[in-house]
Amino acid sequence: MKTSSDVNTIFAYGNRDDIFNKKVLLFRAKKMKYKYVLLSNVSASFVYTYKDRLSTGCIVIEKAIREEKKKRDSSPSKSYKPSLFSLSENVNNKISEYLVELQRDNNINVKSVRIFIDLLLSDYSIPRLYEEDEAFAEFKEKYIINAEKRAFEVINKFVRFFRRYDFMYIENYQKYDEWKIKIKSSKEQVFDKKRDKEDIEIATEFLSFNEEFGQLEFFTCDKECGESIKKIAKEYRRSVGHIEIIRK
Amino acid sequence: MRQAYQNDEISTNIDKFVSVFRYIFDAMFVKNDYNIINANVVLGKLKERELDIKKIESFLAKLPEGQWNFKIFLDNLDELNKIFGISDEYIMKNSTMPTKKGDINNIRWEIILQALVDYTKFSNEFYDAFKYNNNDKLSTAQIKLLNELMLIFKYIKESSKYLYENYSHKKYSQRIFEELNEDRAIIEYFLLRILYVSLNLKKTDNKRIENYAKLLGKERISITTKKMFMPRYC
Residue A27 lies in a domain: yes
Min distance A49 CA to chain B CA atoms (Å):
8
Residue B123 has pLDDT above 60, yes or no: yes
Residue A159 lies in a domain: no
Are A6 and A228 in contact by the 8 Å Cβ rule? The answer is no
Sequence-ordered strand ranges (E) for A57-171: 164-167
Q: What is the mean pLDDT of chain B?
A: 83
Whole-structure pTM value? 0.88
Reference A45, options A190, A173, A204, A186; nearest CA is: A204
Residue A208 lies in a domain: yes
- Considering only alpha carbons, which residue of chain B is nearest residue A49? B214
> What ipTM was assigned to the predicted interfaces of this complex?
0.87
Question: What's B30's DSSP letter?
Answer: I
Q: How far apart are CA B60 and CA B101, in angstroms?
A: 32
Q: How many domains does chain A have?
A: 2
Question: Which of A126, A151, A176 is the last residue in one of the domains?
Answer: A151
- Residues of chain A whose beta carbon is less than 8 angstroms from a beta carbon of chain B are 38, 40-41, 43-45, 47-48, 51-52, 55-56, 59, 62-63, 66-67, 69-70, 133, 137, 140-141, 144-145, 148, 152, 155-156, 159-160, 162-165, 167, 169-171, 173, 176-177, 197, 201
pLDDT band at B231 (very low <50, low <70, confident <90, very high): very low
Nearest to B221 among A48, A66, A173 (CB): A48
Residue range of the domain that includes A141: 49-151
Q: Residue B148, Cβ neighbours under 10 Å: how many?
A: 26
Distances (CA, A) of A201 to A6, A24, A185, A229, B129: 11, 22, 14, 11, 34
Residue B232 lies in a domain: no
Are A4 and A168 in contact by the 8 Å Cβ rule? The answer is no
Say yes or no: A34 and A57 in one domain.
no
Is the Cβ pair A133, B228 closer than 8 Å? no
- Considering only alpha carbons, which residue of chain B is nearest residue A161? B232
Map residue A99 onto helix, strand or coil: helix
Is the Cβ pair B230, A52 closer than 8 Å? no
**Per-residue model confidence as pLDDT tens for chain A (248 residues):** 899 999 999 999 988 888 899 999 998 899 989 999 999 999 999 999 999 999 998 999 998 888 888 887 777 776 667 788 888 998 888 888 888 888 887 767 788 888 999 999 999 999 999 999 999 999 999 999 999 999 999 999 999 889 898 989 888 899 999 999 999 999 988 898 888 889 999 999 999 999 999 999 999 999 999 999 999 999 999 999 999 999 87
Reference A87, options A133, A119, A122, A131; nearest CA is: A131
